[in-house]
Amino acid sequence: MPSRRLWRLTVHALLFLAALVVVVPFAWITLTAFKERSEVFSLIPQWLPSHPTLKNFSGVLDAMPFWRYYWNTLVVAFGILAVQLVTITLAAYAFARMNFWGRDVLFFLLLVQLMIAPQSTVIQNYLTLSSLGLLDTRLAIMAPYLASAFGTFLLRQTFKGIPRELEEAASLDGCGGLRFLAYIAVPLAVPGYLAFGLVSLTYHWNEFFWPLVITETSKARTLTLGLGIFAQTAEGSADWTMLMAATLMVIAVPLLLFLVFQRRFINSFMQSGLGG
């Protein structure tokens, strides 16, 4: 059918156009990162670098404590996730499988975290962590995120889906309570953990504002914040090629992981929208 073919062609054309608009900025900065510093100051767009160079990348390593920021980001993102996995597992199991006085009220109090903007608690959290003497530490960056309503909610759904009979049978075989949780419930919930883990890591890898508020030196600063601060130094703001190289270095690993595990990432984010 020619009309069907025409339709397909239209769909491809439209999607190609949309994808092009979204991808071009990335292509442009990638090419910029490999150009000579003076080459970008041209009034005619020149896409390909005439003398491709890696100078900008090594320049970034000299101009800012890149690896320190990288380490801090890894510690913060994986540290938050590690604690979250414990807190959400226990809480989700209690809310999914146990009856206790005040459960619904407590569950609502948990959901409050989903309903409010984290930014509206920044002032008091800053004051709290300051009075604990934790300003400018990685722990302070992690602190507000150690409990997760989203994660608890997501896992609770999964745990609820495990048949009661399975738990009773396991319990008769001497595998009840925490042991049931560790050996049966958690392995069954691996897809849920994966979805939560990817969203959590991405979110905290990318976060900018809270680390900005709570840090004062490069001691605890994360990558995105380091990038933002670099952009405001004389060096970063005067040299587009180096700034774009730095940007590329910040996003390279997560972007590569996304390209490889595209489906997983997208499915995880899909669930994050439905979890709310």
Partner 1 sequence: MNRTVEPEVPATILPAAGVAGVREEVRARRRALAVARPYLYILPTFLFLFVFTHYPILKTFYLSLFRWNLATPKMELVGAANYVQAWSSPLFWQVVQNNVLFALGTVPISLALALMSALLINQRIRGLAIYRAALFYPTMIPMAAAAMIWLWILTPSYGLVNFYGRSLGLPDIHWLGHSRFALAALALVGIWKRVGYYMVIFLAGLQVIPEHLYEAAILEGASPWQRFWRITFPLLSPTTFFVAIMAVIDSFQAIDQVYLMTQGGPGNHTNLFIFYIYQNAFRFFDMGYASAVSTILFLILLGLTVLAFRMLHRRVHYA
Residues 46-85 that bind partner 1 (CB under 8 A): none
- Taking the complex as a whole, the smallest distance from the CB of residue 222 to partner 1 amounts, in Å, to 9
| Region binding partner 1 by CB under 8 A among candidate stretches 48-56, 59-67, 185-193, 202-210 | 202-210
CA distance 130 to 133: 5
| Region binding partner 1 by CB under 8 A among candidate stretches 63-71, 156-164, 189-197, 245-253 | 245-253
Region 145-184 residues binding partner 1, contact defined as CB under 8 A: 146-147, 149, 152, 171-172, 174-179
- Taking the complex as a whole, the smallest distance from the CB of residue 50 to partner 1 amounts, in Å, to 16
Region 257-276 residues binding partner 1, contact defined as CB under 8 A: 258-259, 262-263, 265-266, 269-270, 273-274, 276
- Cα dihedral 49, 55, 56, 59, rounded to 10, equals -170
Q: Are 254 and 205 in contact (CB under 8 A)?
A: yes
139 sits near partner 1 (criterion: CB under 8 A): no
Binding residue (CB under 8 A) for partner 1 from 74, 122, 139, 188: 122
Closer to partner 1 by Cβ: residue 137 or 206: 206
CA distance 1 to 18: 26
Q: Are 93 and 159 in contact (CB under 8 A)?
A: yes
CA distance 269 to 206: 15
Q: Kindly report the CA angle at 14 between 6 and 27, in degrees rounded to 5?
A: 140
| Region binding partner 1 by CB under 8 A among candidate stretches 37-45, 51-59, 153-161, 188-196 | 37-45
Q: Which residue blocks in 161-239 are alpha helix, DSSP H?
A: 164-172, 177-180, 186-188, 190-206, 209-214, 223-232, 234-238
| Region binding partner 1 by CB under 8 A among candidate stretches 9-17, 54-62, 157-165, 189-197 | 9-17
125 sits near partner 1 (criterion: CB under 8 A): yes
For 87, counting Cβ atoms within 10 Å of its Cβ (0-12 exposed, 13-18 middle, 19+ buried), the class is middle
Encoded tokens for 197: 């883990």
Closer to partner 1 by Cβ: residue 53 or 180: 180
Cα 256 to Cα 72, 103, 196, 206, 253: the distances in Å are: 20, 42, 19, 15, 5
- Cα dihedral 130, 132, 135, 136, rounded to 10, equals 180
Binding residue (CB under 8 A) for partner 1 from 72, 158, 202, 215: 202
- Taking the complex as a whole, the smallest distance from the CB of residue 251 to partner 1 amounts, in Å, to 5
- Taking the complex as a whole, the smallest distance from the CB of residue 162 to partner 1 amounts, in Å, to 15
238 sits near partner 1 (criterion: CB under 8 A): no
| Region binding partner 1 by CB under 8 A among candidate stretches 59-67, 157-165, 185-193, 207-215 | 207-215
